[in-house]
Amino acid sequence: MRFIFLTLLTAIVVVFLNPIAPFWVVMIAIGALSALVYPNGIGGFLGGGLGMGLTWLGQSIYLGVTTGSSLPDRMGDLMGLGSGMTLVGITGLVGFILGAFSGWTGVLFRIMLRKTPQNVYKG
């Protein structure tokens, strides 16, 4: 349940924060969100990754379809990728990687702050 909650919150944060802030601010927000929701390690990794990756992929497809621009195809040809959809897929993959490591960092930060018992040998 925390995984789905983190994925949805990450997607909402990316949709609203990405147009007004650079990507690294969004990454910090995903890390803080992951520390607050506190999923397990793989849940934080995949929750942040899927939230940011699918949002970037969806926004790229939406902007390409609504504007009808030939810029993605031109950039794909310029980079030697063939089509613009390959470039859109790479954008989604980069978003997944950035979001995944941001979510995992938030989980590890929360684990780092957790108190450990001082007297483990209670004889």
Domain count of the chain? 1
- Has residue 122 been placed in a domain? no
Distances (CA, A) of 7 to 1, 44, 47, 108: 10, 9, 4, 17
- Has residue 121 been placed in a domain? no
Q: CA triplet 101, 21, 111: central angle to 5 degrees?
A: 30
- Cβ pair 11, 54 in contact under 8 A: yes
How much is the pLDDT for 51?
A: 95
CA distance 25 to 28: 5
Predicted confidence pLDDT, tens digits, the chain (123 residues): 889 999 999 999 999 999 999 999 999 999 999 999 988 889 999 999 999 999 999 999 998 889 888 888 888 888 888 888 888 999 999 999 999 999 999 999 999 988 777 777 765
Full-model pTM: 0.86
- Has residue 118 been placed in a domain? no
- Has residue 34 been placed in a domain? yes
- Has residue 102 been placed in a domain? yes
Domain limits at 60? Answer: 2-113
- Has residue 119 been placed in a domain? no
- Has residue 28 been placed in a domain? yes
How much is the pLDDT for 123?
A: 56
- Has residue 77 been placed in a domain? yes
